[in-house]
Amino acid sequence: DIQMTQSPSSLSASVGDRVTITCRASQNIHTYLHWYQQKPGKAPNLLIFGASNLQTGVPSRFSGSGSGTDFTLTITSLQPEDFATYYCQHSYSAPRTFGQGTKLE
């Protein structure tokens, strides 16, 4: 199975900050990497697919980069509604594992 490792597990930031979350895959997954945002009591919501493509309706302050094994999610100019937990997930093969999450607070 491909293991997904996110860092940091939690991140303290303020409105207006720029933050970066990283995700590392245990083997080459090309760009089969997606980022989700989850708020308490809600389902995950797709932000970035294929490592760097912004899902329709997602603000442009979110961006993703990387390929192979190392990926990043960047949020520029944090807004109050961005404080949530973020997960990466690969879709290269089964099982489609998720990272353990990064709580932005």
Nearer to other proteins, 30 or 61 (CB): 30
Q: Which is nearer to other proteins, 24 or 96 (CB)?
A: 96
Q: What one-letter code names the amino acid at 81?
A: E
* 70 touches 30 (CB < 8 A): no
Is the Cβ of residue 16 or residue 42 nearer to other proteins in the bound state? 42
Select from 23, 16, 36 the least CA-distant residue to 80: 16
Written as six digits, the tokens of 32 are: 């089969």
Residues within the interface to other proteins (CB under 8 A)? 1, 31-34, 36, 43-46, 49-51, 53, 55, 87, 89, 91, 94-101
> What DSSP state is assigned to residue 82?
G
Taking the complex as a whole, the smallest distance from the CB of residue 37 to other proteins amounts, in Å, to 12
